[in-house]
Amino acid sequence: MNVAKNFIGRAGSVPTMATVVTLMAGTLLAGLLTSGAFSRPEPAFAAPAERSTDLVVVQANLQDAMRPADAADTADLDHFANRVIKSVPKAPDVLLLTDILGPGAEHLARRLSRSTGDGYRVAVSPGRTPFLGDGGVRASAILINSGTVSVRGAAGFVRVQGEDQAQLTVAGRGSSQETHLLSGRVGAVGAPVAQAAATEFDTALRKRAGDTEMAVLGADFSSIRCAQAQKFGCALAPFWSYLTQTNAYDEAAFVGDSRVSTRQYTSFLFARGRVAEAAMDVEYDTAVPDLATCKAAYDRGDSRKAGAACGNYYADQPFTWARLKPDTDVRQTVFPARITLDQCEPGTGRVSAVAARSVNTSAKETTTAVRAEAQAPLRVDGTARNLTVPAGEARDLYLPVTAPVTTPPGDYRVTVFFGEQSVQVPVTVPGECHYAPAFATSWHLGNEPEKAVDGNPGTIWHTEWSPPVTLPQSITVHLDGVRKIGSLQYLPRQDGSPNGDILDYTIEVSTDGITFTEVAKGTWAASKAAKTVTFDPVDAELVRLTSSRSGGGAYASAAEITVR
């Protein structure tokens, strides 16, 4: 640290040597105290007569541990602190961080303390390198707001899959309610790895929390929520199902922020407790429009050369925050709390969904009758169904909500009934309805329909093969408005495999997304050459290509589809 330079930068005058020595001694002492080199008691705060048991937690993977140049450049940590202060409604009580080293955690604690006026300190953190002598990895940290929470019991690390994960127990000042925290990461990719990690994370938390006390897990699983296609009511990845269903954790962003229901992310904030409110920093998408370029610069430690467009960059995934409360024995909720019908799908119209969730932390199985009603012209399945939840678990019932594309703009409602109790979900219908660039009846994760219209012949759309589907299967391309068309070009996958190359095809068009009219039908040769079909010019906004016979088996695929 250049004390003279820092002093001049703030005061505008050159300090005396005595002043420099005094400042250096004070800085050294402050650093030792912050790092825990000296034992000191928690600062004393006057507790109010009744202290809220709410706990505000932030979770983030800061990707600041594995590259020395990146770890040494703290600009991204400053940006993260700025966005936390801007986005979270109150100063966080706890921050669960992964991919960060000890010096970075200390820097962030000081930055938050200066910006908020609160006393943040590092409760658990790794050292100056993530790599341990026994071959393990330690790159997780927990920061606390000393003014609002205090540490209970021993802080430290627990080994999960070769990595040391930070763990801690805290209580709000003036409160006896304890919350047990774990900040972790999964270093390898794959469903079995994520599932095994989820089991070990939960086991570690239960050793501290038991089955009834509030537990919070912030972790990057290197896997997304869905086992296959990413959508609201998808087939769940085993790790996500294990935590949110079998063990009754709420995933904060998914439950509390309707904007993330179809978003792909791998960093999660799970809570065995009630999520009173939560959000993901989705505004980060517009704050850092060229994420890949910024990430490359910051990974090299070149933040100064990254430019103004990277002035908010902190990681390649946004953080999540949540306000948590202790749970009741049985809780029924509907999430998201509000929906907007601004997305359209061919053949359906406006589409969204809500989920009826029943959490049962009691010692007995519960059964609740669930049904739903929608204000016309909105539609929801009104069939009454029993939601049975074993003791200590949770279950969700997904309820698709649809409406005609032509629904008048305005405010509507969906009502979900749990027995005689009801929950109303406000629904907004805007003037416009947006289609994705492409839709398909099936796709495999990583081979989404958008890959057939991305201009890159090296990427493909491919129907699901695990488990496989049967033909016919179709892909529908959106033209971003009604226009006159007269041809379709189909480029099969260019990687040499015949799987999914469309042979027998049908082409249909639509102007409203509901009614489709056939304009061409035929058979293509089994080759990798581009195939072009022409037909009489017709108005269309959506063009559907269906395969009833394909090469390589009961699949369908496409490298590129071009409509003219």
Structural domain spans, the chain: 1-36, 55-325, 330-429, 436-563
Cα distance between residue 243 and residue 56, in whole Å: 21
Contact 534, 456 (CB under 8 A): no
Cβ burial of 267 (10 Å; 0-12, 13-18, 19+) is buried
CB atoms within 10 A of CB 31: 13
This prediction has a pTM of 0.79
- DSSP 3-state percent helix, strand, coil across the chain (nearest 5): 20, 40, 40
Phi, psi for residue 240 in degrees, rounded to 5: -70, -40
* 203, 232 contact by CB (below 8 A): no
Cα 144-147-153 angle, rounded to 5 deg: 55
Taking alpha carbons only, the member of 430, 403, 429, 426 closest to residue 416 is 426
Q: What is the distance between the alpha carbons of residues 532 and 472, in angstroms, rounded to a whole number?
A: 20
Using DSSP, state whether 526 is helix, strand or coil. Answer: coil
Rounded (5°) CA angle 353-359-243: 85
Give the burial class of 311: count Cβ atoms within 10 A of its Cβ; 0-12 exposed, 13-18 middle, 19 or more buried: middle
In this structure, which CATH number among 2.60.120.260, 3.40.50.300, 3.40.50.970, 1.10.3720.10 belongs to the domain 436-563? 2.60.120.260
* Cβ(389)–Cβ(358) below 8 Å: yes
β-strands 178-185, 214-220: how paired?
Answer: parallel
Three-class secondary structure of residue 433 per DSSP: coil
Hey, which residues does 555 pair with through a beta bridge? none
- The C-alpha atoms of residue 94 and residue 155 are separated, in whole angstroms, by 14
Closest CA to 335 of 402, 240, 392, 399: 399
- pLDDT tens, residue order, the chain (564 aa): 333 322 222 233 333 333 333 333 444 333 333 333 333 233 222 333 344 579 999 999 999 998 999 899 999 999 999 999 999 999 999 999 999 999 999 999 999 999 999 999 999 999 999 999 999 999 999 999 999 999 998 899 999 999 999 999 999 988 888 999 999 999 888 889 999 999 999 999 999 877 668 999 999 999 999 876 556 777 789 999 999 999 999 999 999 998 888 788 999 999 999 999 999 999 999 999 999 999 999 999 999 989 899 999 999 999 999 999 988 889 999 988 889 999 899 989 999 999 999 999 999 999 999 999 999 999 999 899 999 999 999 999 999 999 999 999 999 999 999 999 999 999 999 999 999 999 999 988 789 999 999 999 999 999 998 888 999 999 999 998 999 999 999 999 999 999 999 999 999 999 988 899 999 999 999 999 999 999 999 999 999 999 999 999 999 999 999 999
End-to-end alpha-carbon separation of the chain, Å? Answer: 63
CA 112 to chain centre: 24
Say which DSSP state 305 is in: G
The predicted structure's pLDDT at residue 234: 78
Q: Is there a contact between 322 and 278 (Cβ–Cβ < 8 Å)? A: yes
User: What backbone phi and psi angles, to 5 degrees, belong to 213?
Assistant: -75, 160
CATH 2.40.50.100 fits 330-429, yes or no: no
Q: Which amino acid is at 189?
A: V
Contact 45, 147 (CB under 8 A): yes
User: Residue 497 is encoded by which pair of tokens?
Assistant: 């495999």
Peptide bond into 468 cis (omega under 30): no
Highest CATH level, class, for 55-325: alpha beta
Distance from the Cα of residue 373 to its chain's centroid: 29
Phi, psi of 37 (to 5 degrees): -65, -35
